[in-house]
Amino acid sequence: MAVPTIDRRLRAFLRNRAGMASLGFLLFVLGVALGAPYAYPEDPMAMVARPFLWPGERAEFPLGTDSLGRDVAAGLVWGARVSLLVGVAAMLLGVTLGLAVGAAAGYFGGKTDAVLVKLVEIFQTPPSFVLLVVLVAIAQPAISTVIGAIALVTWPTIARIVRAEFRSLREKDFVMAARGLGYGHIRIILREILPSALPPVIVTASVLVATAILMESALSFLGMGDPNVVSWGGMIGGGRELLRTAWYLSAIPGIAIVLTVLALNMLGDALNDALNPRVAAER
């Protein structure tokens, strides 16, 4: 069975309606986040009207105001910036660390593999969210701290995937030929094996963005996020005591999280269908 070319993989992705719809929605969220300083140049945490204006009650505040008179729409738009920043940055950091550890373990094997696998197991032994809470509690609750803590919690998943891919590829003919030509380990890892090992990493990376967004939202809901920025989780946490009288304060950012995470997971499924050789060949 021939491995699909890039063109075939791209066509397979473009034919996936759910994947394209998810990509379109995520681009819309990205556009909203990038446009936040222009749509709402004022501080989103500023009190701009009387509290508890319901959505649609006043045209200048289409999503209403919260208990302190802050614009919910402004918070939602600026919260998108925080959620996407945390999700993408934590994913990139976690993938980088996972690639380094997984590639070294899978390629070199032996004692190197044994030591690095033990390191992965150390990070995977405690429950992920418990470890995340402990890491954030030890450090100062800031965006950089949250990003680093989420990356430290999620990188073992990438490391295991990369390790398995490298173990299956390191004895292939093209790798043996590269060794016969005298290529160094770094060149073989980066230019020969890594491109073939990337498809499952790309799929998992999209899921890790969704995981990071959920983790940051959970931390903010618990009051462990950065208090100087507006986030979707913080908005839900701020409205949880008002569910009976002002349910929209939690419902609106909650819907934003659900739709964004759903879109990321559907995008991951579409990428898996396009990059998986067996699925792509069947299509």
Give pLDDT tens digits for 171-190. Answer: 888 888 888 888 888 888 88
> Would the pLDDT of 218 be above 50?
yes
Average pLDDT for 44-63: 88
Are the CB atoms for 232 and 220 separated by under 8 Å? yes
Q: Is 114 part of any domain?
A: yes
Neighbours of 41 (CB within 10 A): 9
pTM: 0.87
The residues that bridge with 65 in the sheet, in sequence order, are 71
Query: Which residues form the domain of 93?
Result: 6-282
pLDDT band, residue 5 (cuts 50/70/90):
low
Residue 77 lies inside a defined structural domain of this protein: yes
In a domain, 1, yes or no: no
Q: How confident is the model at residue 279 (pLDDT cuts 50, 70, 90)?
A: very low
- Does 128 fall in a domain? yes
Which amino acid, one-letter code, is at 247?
W
CATH number at residue 265: 1.10.3720.10
Segments in 139-247 forming alpha helices (H) = 143-169, 173-180, 185-187, 194-221, 232-239
Beta-ladder partners of 70: 47
Q: Does 12 reside within a domain?
A: yes
Number of domains, the chain: 1
What pLDDT shows up at residue 60?
87
Structure-model confidence comparison of residues 275 and 219, the more confident one? 219
Residue 276 has pLDDT above 60, yes or no: yes
The answer to whether position 196 is within a domain reads: yes
